[in-house]
Chains A and B, each alone.
Chain A
């Protein structure tokens, strides 16, 4: 194997291209830009045009240059005429010359790159760009403002195979955690249109915003609604070396997404459609009405031992049981009343790509819809069904305007429309938790809508089906235009690039809401006629309200790139300026309406010697209007070193087992300017104070208030010092790949309100200061196994794990009175609460134990008196559990291929996480009667007759009699789970002769399932929903069947 020099070089925003041709003397067709915009018909005609002159047969000299994806010449590429079997190699500048006949097939072969074959038609100069095989050492990684060759990069960058993102879900964010090393993430809701996951790169290292910076095609953008089919590359930048150039925006890590661009050749058209069934992963179960009343009687008696009467008479219980009169003796499962068992989703996509030597295109249209799992009332005159629809489109064009000038244009966007009930979805869930099963029926048999008399307990069915609807329309348009000029004429390897982008987002919500008249059946009169009390006066017609939101963003960059090599020395450099401006068009306040601006100067230099010793330095120098004028700009440098051991002589003996080994070390500084708190903190504010005052006897003289709101403070960004040590290893001829990174981060200057100021100072808002500090460390790793056992059988396996542990060093607060209360030195997000010692077994034990507020008896939870003062109070709250954000996120899955069949699975799991249970409905009767549903688990409780040691519920009480429902380890549950997140089975008809007869190059049929199985010790609801009472729209399971075909 001949190893050729491969030079690292950055080509900003250069799209992944299989190859491109260049025809000397042929200028860009005027208007090609417009042509390329047109739909598929236009491309068919272009294809026809290019197929005209290929009949003649005559020997010619074909010349050209072979390059890699970074525009570096490839030396030693075998150029093979398959007809004449003639072979030549490319020279030091990548050039070749071969004698061939028109009509010959020529193949370009180079180790580590995909072989490319073309037919000589009318072109005598064929420049070829070979694409590195994914996962090979020649592979390209996308880094900030450019690309690098994997072998010579030293930063910690993980990439996600774009194929893995293509799941039948609307929101991409849920698919990331576990699939790519270095991401901690959880998804807290499955509500269509609101099912985004929280994603933290290497966990949370700050008290302020820990959102990563997301860049799509080089511009800060939200990726949740990007159609996964349009993604070419998905990278996560984690360490200082990779993120320092983003300066004040880099500390939380960076996600880089590149959309696809066209490839030279005949139009390639992909079509895909699938349709599926959706179901809730798991919903909590409620107790039935009989159980409810029995439990209520028990609880009531426990709290009111002197009342001789039960809360609910035996007669009522019997009548409810018999179902004799469901109007007066209802027995309702509110979940059954409002949820459907299943709903559906579907998606369809068409994309086309192709192009000629000077113009390439990628065009795509996608559609997704999803129905919610709520019921609707067929009689209502409006549509309140929960439905979400989205249309995506993408158009990317790459043009060579002159020999040395390239223009890239991209436009993409989406339109979504969500229809929701008039009452917020989570409020309907809340209502189902508050409504008892025995107060009212879903609806009275005479058609009256039921509603109990008092308080804030509503009929969930009315809220779902009778409240009107909200319709949310959102749209997003992204556009970017880039011009790249090669300046090799001035200096070999120099180029300049500039980009401008404009993004616009709008949302528009129409709220047409109403409420219906509510009635309560209070009894029957002497003639057995029902007596209805009107408990709610509805509004007869839909009300109208609207709300709007929107942002617009401008981004400009201009940069210089340089890359060259001198013998075994390779150097590259980047110097780039950019600025961005984002405006909230519907800002609620004067301050918020001021555009958010960033500007930065960015630089990078890399050097390598023989791809063995690697050096890289980066800096970001940037500023934001958030900070005081004199402290607006920060300088963020980083440095990285790499050593490819496997290239050393002493390593040669091992190269059969370990064929590649690289050690990496980086250190540097990044910042976080997204510090939350108050904007323009360097200016003091005046606000309405505590309020105004009214004067006047028989005259109204009301005067509003004024006071100092916030005092001015010197404000700056958070600083993150990041150290990363990494190792990349390939063994057994690339069959096994291991990447592992250990990291440590010191985040200082976190912008917090000072908690050490005594109250008698009398400031209304505590002053802010850059005082917080968090230390975060952990590791992440990826292991990959690839093996082709035969031509037809291959097995692939990949696993990732991410662990982080962040410790609070300074929270700008005063110390707590007792050591166990201290927040300092504990992990970020540590929960605090009482330590439950079990249940009191007797009233004597209560009397002989530390005092607990309220009426405490046998069967109540006994807490640990941490400070030993004989009273259980807040001083006895210590650290309990892990917290709601997992410390460990992992994923793994195989792909097995046999002939056309392919089966794959992906398991995702989280660990070191827990769930705290609380809330109305979960804590039985905590607010008294007629309020609060009961979980089916209510029967698992302590009673004097059955004094179990560790039931779900302690002694039942009516009202909040004692300390049973305070935050404690009793209500903590392990939140770890592992789930089969994706399972896929597909059959690929590739190579079947009949395919080409129907004009297809490929056809596959597939089944894909999401969230099919969950393994967890937590049984009440889907553990990923986290704390509380499970009263949010759960995550969904999907079963999708689809077809995918390709035409060329």
Chain B
């Protein structure tokens, strides 16, 4: 019943019962009511001059802002202690702080119920925004008036690349994912209408590769504005980025974890759909090799070398120098400066917490190109005086990349307020030792110095570079065409650039690995060193299915010591691994809402 009616009824009752009600009071009440209805405008305060989403897509600058928001989802692995576990939770490096999530991850403190590094929703937000952009940019009159369809097509291809990339980021962390397609899911739909299942891994790969292919057809080779190369647009998606990510996706797809992995025979959707294919397909390696070769074939990238020709400087500057000829995919704004300060010793005004493991130290080759097990140069006894500083012999005669990547006891360093290079000691009572600070000390007696800029300059983080593509290529090639000459060619290019003797070529040449298995071992060893601390290792040990062997107790020097008893391998930290950890669990939050999604095996 409307209020007016109520009042009328009241009126009637009063009037009928007590006839004294006069005309004047009727007028009064009417006035009150009229006032009320005429005043309803009082509440009309709709803020009508705010930007609406429709207006965003009518303007060029606003649309570009929308696209920048999609780009913002591009990952940044330099937040290694809390945002991105790929470096710190591998067997390469230990992050010392127990209060940040990378540490508990190594203690298996992960379950569907605690959402460490839960990126599931995050990347789907990027995916939705990318889709929304592609579905709404077409009619942008301002862009059409300025440069026409070409720019719209380019922006759409950029969004398409980004969407495919975000799917890949989900796939490498979670395995098979939910493919949404080209239409947004409506937000006002009921929960029941929003249900979707995961797609099989191969379907995900096909979808992502297809999207990358169609983006690559439109994207320019180098960033463009008005059809001309534009330095101001560096960082926008290019054809090379799309093809490089495609190569990486296909390499993953060909790898043992995803290629006929019988361990996952029972990993099925509720309707029985097999999520990981159960038949090994060698042809997948060929696809991966071809895709990597296609990137190389673009001919616009080359390995970075420092102008001085010093391989230590090359290795030092490779990631610190922005926009090198080797870089394919960079995120310009990054947390690299955080990585720097986390990795500086306390002596150099740092937080002293990014600690390479002894296993990583051991992985670096000797300067003769051999591993420490093979090389006669390697020794774990005695010390060598280097310019008046005692250096443990373990660190002598190593390859250049070692010296560019590892701060070991008594190696020289300068950062922060340090006025000159000084030996960095990790002895217990030393300036960077365990006893000097409650939390900021390396558990292994090492600190990382790869990609650590003593000046803490803002710089892009390199997400994909030609060196990786070479290694992707040789790995895939070795799997389906072991004798192919390209394997040695591109592997040796990596070693030559690193200043390490090559296999069967150049000065001090090493013997060529005897067979496919030996070559695989060498490729894996090379990959670990070359791509160390670049967020690759975490995924490599999984797709190769070697994580159970390499994870677990990780070693370092004995940091409880104040003398040369320090130089003794001890268990420094434990990065535990169980088979469930091949992929992250789908968060329980999502499982509770998504009734068709099956959990990853082991969770």
Q: Which chain A residues have a beta carbon within 8 Å of chain B's beta carbons?
A: 306-307, 454-455, 487, 490-492, 494, 496, 558-560, 562, 564, 566, 571, 573, 575, 577, 579, 590-591, 594-595, 597, 599, 601, 603, 605, 619, 621, 623-625, 629, 632-633, 635, 637, 680, 683-686, 688-699, 701-708, 711, 713, 755-764, 767, 814-817, 853-854, 871, 873-875, 927-931, 959-960
Contact = CB atoms under 8 A, between A and B. Distances in A.
A686 B22 contact: no
A873 B116 CA distance: 14
Contacts of A599: 36, 39-40, 42-43
A686 B50 contact: yes
A1001 to B, nearest CB: 46
A597 to B, nearest CB: 6
A762 B438 contact: no
Contacts of B120: 759-760
Interface stretch (B211-219, B282-290, B532-540, B590-598): B590-598
Query: Which 10 residue pairs of A and B lie closest in terms of their CB atoms, listed nearest first?
Result: A762-B128, A874-B113, A689-B69, A705-B69, A759-B121, A697-B234, A693-B71, A703-B68, A762-B124, A693-B68
B281 interface: no
A964 B268 CA distance: 38
A699 B20 CA distance: 86
B522 interface: no
Q: Find the residue from B53, B73, B196 having the highest chain A CB count within 10 A.
A: B53
8 contacts: A566-B17, A692-B72, A703-B65, A759-B594, A760-B590, A762-B184, A762-B185, A873-B114
Contact of B593 (A487, A629, A701, A757): A757
B156 to A, nearest CB: 17
B125 A762 contact: yes
B232 A696 contact: yes
B549 to A, nearest CB: 23
Contacts of B7: 575, 603
A764 B125 contact: yes
Given A601-B3, A686-B53, A688-B69, A697 B21 contact: no
Nearest to B587: A759
A686 B113 contact: no
A570 B47 CA distance: 49
Interface string B344-386: 0000000000000000000000000000000000000000000
A695 B98 contact: no
Nearest to B234: A697
B588 interface: yes
Given A635-B3, A817-B592, A763 B187 contact: yes
A721 to B, nearest CB: 17
Contacts of B129: 689-690, 707, 762
Interface in B105-129: 107-109, 111, 113-114, 120-121, 124-129
B72 A705 contact: yes
Contacts of B20: 491-492
A625 B185 CA distance: 30
B29 A575 contact: yes
Given A635-B3, A695-B236, A698-B323, 4 more contacts: A490-B22, A692-B65, A703-B64, A854-B109
B24 A490 contact: yes
A491 B20 CA distance: 7
Contacts of A595: 45
Nearest to B21: A491
Contacts of A816: 592
Given A560-B28, A564-B18, A761-B124, A695 B233 contact: yes
A454 B36 contact: no
Contacts of A707: 66, 69, 129
B280 to A, nearest CB: 30
A693 B51 contact: no
Contacts of B589: 759
B56 interface: yes
B594 A758 contact: yes
Interface in B558-603: 560, 587-594, 597
A306 to B, nearest CB: 7
Interface string B9-24: 0100010011011101
A707 B64 CA distance: 11
A705 B68 contact: yes
B365 to A, nearest CB: 33
B180 A603 contact: no
Interface residues of B, number: 96
A874 B69 contact: no
A684 B52 contact: yes
Contact of B126 (A573, A686, A690): A690
B413 interface: no
B6 A603 contact: yes
Given A635-B2, A688-B69, A815-B592, A454 B437 contact: yes
A959 B97 CA distance: 10
Contacts of B127: 762
A307 B560 contact: yes
Nearest to B178: A760
A699 B39 contact: no
B218 to A, nearest CB: 18
Given A623-B43, A874-B114, A763 B125 contact: yes
B132 A873 contact: no
A761 B194 contact: yes
Interface in B437-469: 437-440
B507 interface: no
A446 B71 CA distance: 57
Interface in B70-126: 71-74, 98-99, 104, 107-109, 111, 113-114, 120-121, 124-126
B271 interface: no
Interface string B23-67: 011001100110110011011111100111100100000101110
Given A490-B25, A560-B28, A575-B7, A594 B588 contact: no
A703 B235 CA distance: 12
A814 B594 CA distance: 9
B146 interface: no
B32 A577 contact: yes
Contact of A704 (B32, B65, B128): B65
B322 interface: yes
A637 B188 CA distance: 31
A680 B46 contact: yes
Contacts of A704: 65, 68
B514 interface: no
B333 interface: yes
A817 B585 CA distance: 15
Contacts of A680: 46-47
A691 B187 contact: no
A241 to B, nearest CB: 16
Interface in B172-186: 178, 180, 184-185
A629 B588 contact: no
A370 B536 CA distance: 63
B2 to A, nearest CB: 7
B332 interface: yes
Given A708-B53, A758-B194, A853 B109 contact: yes
Contacts of A629: 44, 46
B235 A696 contact: yes
Given A487-B25, A760-B594, A762-B185, A701 B72 contact: no
A684 B53 contact: yes
B232 A701 contact: yes
A759 B124 contact: yes
A564 B17 CA distance: 12
Contact of B191 (A558, A560, A701, A814): A814
Contact of A577 (B36, B45, B109): B36
A597 B232 contact: no
B593 A758 contact: yes
A706 B66 contact: yes
Contact of B62 (A706, A708, A817): A706
B72 A761 contact: no
B593 A759 contact: yes
B47 A959 contact: no
